[in-house]
Structure 1
Amino acid sequence: MEGSAKKRLATLVGCNYPNSRHELSGCINDVHAMRDLLLSRFGFSPDDVVLLTDDAHLDSSSPSSSALPTGANIRRALTDMIDRAGPGDVLFFHYSGHGTLIPPVKPHHGWQHRRDEAIVPCDFNLITDVDFRQLVDRLPAETTFTMVSDSCHSGGLIDKEKEQIGPEAETTTADVSGAIHRTVGRYLPFESVLGHLASLSGIDSPHVGEHLAELFGAEASRKFSGGAAAAGRGDDAILLSGCQANETSADMSPFEAGSGGKAYGAFSNAIRVVLGEKEEGAVISNRELVMAARKVLRERGFEQHPCLYCSDENADAPFLWPRPEKKQQLRACM
């Protein structure tokens, strides 16, 4: 296997928010299914795959609360993964759960179009696009960091990453007359996030950063404490988002075609469908995977549009495989 001496590290996060009014059904199933795929198809070792799910506290065999996908635990797992990485390693992060959009502290003309994307850990300690930018800026040279986010408003979750497939991507009209009824989306309005945090912090403030600072201190997003992202260097971060920044992502119920009797995220399931149609050992580029996932979702009547954000080179690089050495690329062209 090409690059077999390199490390392949993964962090998988699934938030179902059990016993809350924000509860979802398919997120934990998503990451368990992805773990199986990483081990069986992509050569990951079980010891190098970290799984954080919010059913851990319901399992008496769980060793500690460290397995819960809190904001601090997710950041720590990602930081540890990057700290372990060396040049040429393959890193992977899969998030399945709620996403939200954060308005600016001082609204201005056109502010509706300049909100910041964030994921919502089980304790609501938001992780923003700025946080992900700061993480990937620490990557060693030639180390790829692939992020799949099956959440609402996930387009652009790595701040300042180049858009390869987004709202302007060419799509074809499909017959969705057989579209299946869906009742659950992964949409969590910012007002609900703010209200929940305010109920915990006891602070009367419209600014989410003040609530996060009160509740989580140094473990809150640096976005709200002056830690803005830099301009964004050329890097090997790759974001496959479940939808555009202005869209929502959907859960598939156990009764929907292709779900196999379990609830799943529509985007996570589409990725598995596309990869399952490939022969063992066959590779597919990041661009091809996103476009094929769009096709699967369109044919099943979903309205969300997965997107791709990365460098030009990584857009056509194989999904979760090391890029070929430049010498090998030249030899192949001779």
Structure 2
Amino acid sequence: MTGKRALCVGINNFKYFPSAALRGCVNDANDMENLLKILFEFQSDNIVKLTDAKATKANIMKNLQEMLVGAKSGKYSHLVFTMSSHGTQVPDLSGDESDRVDEAFCPYDLKEKQDEWDPEHIIVDDELRDMFIQLPDEIVLEVFLDTCHSGTGLKAIDLIWDRQTRYIPPPSLEAFKRVDGKRQRGLNKALLEKGMRQHILWAACRADQTSADANIDGDWHGAFTYYFCKEMKASQNKLTRNEILEKVREDLKEADYTQIPQLECEATVRNWNMD
């Protein structure tokens, strides 16, 4: 079993929220697609790329489900899912833990229902967890999330340097009150608690930080994705994941970004190269 499969998602524009438009997410999807082809020998027909209007919740979940079915049948041994978009928060929908909010990811068709996000048009971390925990133990799953799930403020210096946060708040004051101040467990913790041994999650920032959509070298990118791709290409996959993480953190710090990328996986996996 040696097959590889990837889904790369990038959403700049949102059907019902034109004012929430981003500028670097489609470039992120293109950059990750190219990286997978150049360094990791992914074939074009094993990468699905969904951008803007193609990246509805239904389409994203359908493609993830197809990856899951292929892995369970023995067709794939390495899955990659990358998503660049807005993040947001919703009240804990599963009720599995008190005083908690769920992280959520915004598809193109993000939509309100009454004063909350419509569950049919938003992707909640519990949904991804419930899907990914079905994977056989031997499957390598690598997830890259260049989003953020905190509304902590955009700094004045970010405005000077053409930077925008990848966070969209809950759609009403009442919805905001229901999540404000509550703690987030996050997709990474949820998966680790379920005992997934080869799950690898890259997050562009800590749960209490924002991820930048930024003008870098004359074009727009997610700051994390840009520096991750830069360091991967420079190293030609000769560094471990942990070494790449440290280099990306250094790059972001030198460029005056406050976000600190996170790598969640077992200790042994951190020292693997990204084969």
- TM category (shorter chain) comes to 0.7 to 0.9
Note the 1:243-254 alignment, pairs <5 A: 243-253=205-215
Q: What is the deviation of 1:305? A: 0.8
Note the 1:52-91 alignment, pairs <5 A: 52-54=50-52, 56=53, 68-85=54-71, 86=74, 89-91=77-79
Instruction: Pick the aligned partner of 1:288 from 243, 252, 255.
Output: 243
8 Å Cα contact 1:14-1:95 kept in structure 2: yes
- C-alpha separation between the residues in 1 aligned to 2:32 and 2:249? 18
Instruction: Pick the aligned partner of 2:273 from 301, 313, 318.
Output: 318
Q: Quick one: which amino acid aligns to residue 274 of structure 1?
A: E
SS at match of 2:38: helix
- C-alpha separation between the residues in 1 aligned to 2:224 and 2:173? 23
SS at match of 2:20: coil
- C-alpha separation between the residues in 1 aligned to 2:43 and 2:79? 12
Q: What is the deviation of 1:188? A: 0.6
Q: What is the deviation of 1:142? A: 1.1
Tell me which residue corresponds to 2:184.
Answer: none
Tell me which residue corresponds to 1:304.
Answer: 259
Residue 42 (1) aligns with residue 43 (2): no
Instruction: Pick the aligned partner of 1:131 from 127, 137, 141.
Output: 127
- C-alpha separation between the residues in 2 aligned to 1:294 and 1:87? 35
Structure 1 residues 141, 87: CA separation in 2 closer, same or farther (over 3 Å shift)?
farther
Structure 1 residues 105, 135: CA separation in 2 closer, same or farther (over 3 Å shift)?
closer
Instruction: Pick the aligned partner of 1:96 from 78, 84, 92.
Output: 84
Instruction: Pick the aligned partner of 2:28 from 23, 27, 30.
Output: 30
Contiguous gaps of at least 5 residues in structure 1: 57-67, 155-176, 196-205, 209-227, 322-334
**Which protein is richer in strand relative to its size?**
2
Tell me which residue corresponds to 1:218.
Answer: none
- C-alpha separation between the residues in 1 aligned to 2:136 and 2:21? 37
Structure 1 residues 9, 87: CA separation in 2 closer, same or farther (over 3 Å shift)?
closer
Structure 1 residues 303, 72: CA separation in 2 closer, same or farther (over 3 Å shift)?
same
Q: Quick one: which amino acid aligns to residue 128 of structure 1?
A: V
Deviations 1:240-288 (A, max 9, x none): 00011111111112xx3xx3x221110100101211221x4x3322222
Instruction: Pick the aligned partner of 2:170 from 169, 190, 193.
Output: 190
Residue 263 (1) aligns with residue 227 (2): no
- C-alpha separation between the residues in 2 aligned to 1:193 and 1:51? 35
8 Å Cα contact 1:130-1:229 kept in structure 2: no
SS at match of 1:240: strand
Q: Quick one: which amino acid aligns to residue 183 of structure 1?
A: R
Q: What is the deviation of 1:75? A: 1.0
Note the 1:120-199 alignment, pairs <5 A: 120-124=106-110, 125-153=121-149, 181-191=161-171
Larger radius of gyration: 1
Structure 1 residues 230, 185: CA separation in 2 closer, same or farther (over 3 Å shift)?
closer
SS at match of 2:229: helix
Paired residues, number: 242
Q: What TM-score does the superposition give when structure 1 sets the normalisation length? A: 0.65
SS at match of 1:81: helix
Deviations 1:8-33 (A, max 9, x none): 11000011115701100010011111
SS at match of 1:84: helix
SS at match of 1:289: helix
Structure 1 residues 117, 273: CA separation in 2 closer, same or farther (over 3 Å shift)?
same
Computed over aligned residues only, the root mean square deviation of the Cα atoms, in angstroms, reads 3.1
More off after superposition, 261-270 vs 181-190: 181-190
Q: What is the deviation of 1:190? A: 1.7
- C-alpha separation between the residues in 2 aligned to 1:193 and 1:291? 38
8 Å Cα contact 2:28-2:222 kept in structure 1: yes
Structure 1 residues 192, 7: CA separation in 2 closer, same or farther (over 3 Å shift)?
farther
More off after superposition, 34-43 vs 84-93: 84-93
Contiguous gaps of at least 5 residues in structure 2: 111-120, 151-156, 180-189
Note the 1:186-265 alignment, pairs <5 A: 186-191=166-171, 232-253=194-215, 256=216, 259=217, 261-265=218-222
- C-alpha separation between the residues in 1 aligned to 2:148 and 2:131? 21
8 Å Cα contact 1:26-1:252 kept in structure 2: yes
- C-alpha separation between the residues in 1 aligned to 2:234 and 2:192? 40
